[in-house]
Structure 1
Amino acid sequence: MGGAADERREALLARIAASLAPRFDGSLSRQTVEWYVRECHNLLERPSTVGRHLPVLAERFARQRLVALAQSQGLAAKPVPEVLFVCTANAGRSQIAAALTARHAGGRVHVRTAGTCPAGRIDPMVGLALTEIGLDPGMEFPKPLTDEVVAAADVVVTMGCGDACPVYPGKRYQDWLLDEPEDAPLEEVRAIRDHIDERVRELLAELIGLPSARQ
């Protein structure tokens, strides 16, 4: 990349930063917003298969990370508990868990996801398994694990990513042993989805008093 392409890229990143900066006025500096926008664009560009959607996703990723940064530093309120789901590719298990948590919690829990080695897209069978129960993963995308989203979370749920998730003292961690849906047939992905649904209900029973699947 060089010349006119570099100029277009810089202009694009400047527009994204300018659109985000007012939201964080008084909590995060303009320089911080600009740095996060640039890094988020770079992180998503490497494994991405989203092509022309990259600017939109980079803006969304930067916004999520900046909110998490402000929360972790006590500069922004957390009106509801924050749950972070982490798996390896952020293309299967964590996406299923986040979608089901958002459905069952009904706004009483905020969810984030991340991957220790993110894929370029959500697994197609995972997308299908969610769509057939009325959940649309179309607005979601794999994203890398970053420190501020861990720091902002009240509960961190890991799924097969070992010791790659940073550990913060006093934070609550759970490790869910789940099969990997990547490249699995739809029937197996459905079984994984239903297992995750049970675990999600158990977690929400503890966090917000939602009846668990066993009740």
Structure 2
Amino acid sequence: MMKMPARVVGEEKVKLKKSFIKPWMGIKYLFKKPVTIKIPYEKIEPAPKYRGFHTLDWKKCVGCNFCGQICPARAIEMTWIEVNGHIATRPHPKVDYGRCTFCQFCVDVCPTGALGFSENYYLTTGGLEEDLELYDWVPIHPDKVRELNEKFNDYRFPVERIKFNKETREVTYYLRDGSTIQFKILGYGLRPPKPPAKPAAKPAEKKEGPKAEEKKE
């Protein structure tokens, strides 16, 4: 079967003229300032109420999952956590920035005002596999984010590194000021996670007494 040649509509009306001067016209841009900025070494001031990374007051969050239901990108997952040995009574949202579109519908629908957003918009990594954990996190308190912004004033992501222990399921956030936040992820979803099953007790072995030994003889 012969394929039809591809043709752009109106192609016959375009007149191609060879020019020796046009390729050299790009030299003028060598003497102009670049329009782009060198991320992450340069910054620009965000607009007021810029929709950046999320913040979360863990005490105000009631785990209603309104944020997860309204999210058009399905970037929010309710997560059960344990802090300082105490299991949270409600799940908290965990945001996946690989899917988030920063529409902030989740912030608008939050009934308690626990979920908010900051003006931080820088999230650059070295491209390592462990750096990808920064894109999936449980937001921290807005006061802490504000404190870091006042100290560094560069609108970067408040966490430098996230460490996850697969055996203990313990998560450690290493913040930019050297402090850390630790908690455990117990499970996902709206229902509380089931406690780990206890190993079944082994049946006690019957010891043969002296009478049993006499019968064998």
Higher helix share: 1
Structure 1 length normalisation: TM-score?
0.22
Larger Rg: 2
Structure 2 length normalisation: TM-score?
0.22
Higher strand share: 2
